[in-house]
Amino acid sequence: FQVLAKIVIRQLNLTKQLMDDNHKEEIYTEINNNERIIDSIEVKIRNEVINMIVLYSPRATNLRMIISYYDMTAYLEIAVDDCLFTTYKKDLLKMLSLTESMTQNAIFAFTCEDIQLAKETIETDDQVDELHHFIGQHLPTQCFDKILSQQEVTDALCINSMAYNIERIGDNATNIAEAAIYLIEGENIKHWPK
């Protein structure tokens, strides 16, 4: 799990690098190699979870930990697109920076059983959601009543897709933080109002 977490954080960092320079072939190669590693680790963790439950009949606290690790392997699976843009770069970089921090904090909160850090991670998701909403509101107004070139349409779709996917990373970090709270307090806070 620690290796998986480190590779996912690296993927987020590589994505930020691509926003500054998308001509480095080695970044694309590393991203693709990391995706293969992430997939294999996910399968290994899933198999370990099943074996632990079947072979060892864990107690409630251990079972909560096992289930939480199982849930988190799915939350750490991150898709990285290679399309780039310039118009909303600042907002997207801010979203990416927030979600990178959220992911690190959520993993730390889970592994170190830090309830306060888990709650802070969940609260940070509001900032990511606001940026996503901002892009979603302003992007169509820039395209309204204009005849767009094929490249402009592609760029708009890419910006929208990137904002959505980064927002999903924030949601998944929130899910990890919620799993940490479940592990620590035994309380499922998914879908609770903030």
Residue 69 has pLDDT above 90, yes or no: no
pLDDT (tens digit, 9 = 90+) per residue, 82-94?
Answer: 333 666 788 888 9
Residue from 76, 71, 102 nearest 174 by CA = 102
User: Rounded to two decimals, what is the model's pTM?
Assistant: 0.66
Tell me the C-alpha distance between 79 and 19, whole Å.
Answer: 15
Query: Given a cut of 60, is residue 147 above it in pLDDT?
Result: yes
Confidence at 151, pLDDT banded by 50, 70, 90: low
Region 9-13: mean pLDDT is: 83
pLDDT at 81 over 70: no
Which of 3-17, 55-69, 150-164 bottoms out in mean pLDDT, i.e. has the lowest?
Answer: 55-69
The whole-angstrom separation of Cα 132 and Cα 167 is 6
